[in-house]
Structure 1
C-alpha cells in the first residue's frame, strides 16, 4: 500500500462521521498505539492545507510553546 492509498483509506474511514464522532476518533487516537499516528498526521495535513497563514502560524506557535514548555517542565537529570 503506498502513501496515497493510506491517505485515501484514512479519509474514507472518517469522511461521513459527525463532528462528535470525529472528536472521538481524534481523542481515542491521541496517546494510544503508534499505529494511530499516520491517521492523525493525515487529519492534521487536511487541516493545515485548508488553513490560512494566520491559522498556520497559530498552530506552529502552539506547538513551539508546547515543546518548549515541556522541555522546561522536564526534571533535570541531576
Structure 2
C-alpha cells in the first residue's frame, strides 16, 4: 500500500537507533537535520530520497538494504 515503505523504513531507523543507544537528537545532529525532521522520518511521515537513506544507513552503521528491508540474495 502507498506509504508502507516510508513507515517500515522509519520503524527500522528507530529500532536500530535505540538498539545502538543513540538518542534521536544525536543522530539528527550527525545527519545535520533537526530532531523533529528525524522524528518525522521515524514516524513514516517523510518521503526520503535515496541519498538520505544512504546517509541514515551510514550513520547507523548498517547496509542500505537493512533499512529498506531487503534480504540478501542467495
TM over 0.5: no
TM-score normalised over the length of structure 2: 0.32
Kindly name which structure, 1 or 2, has the bigger radius of gyration based on alpha carbons: 1
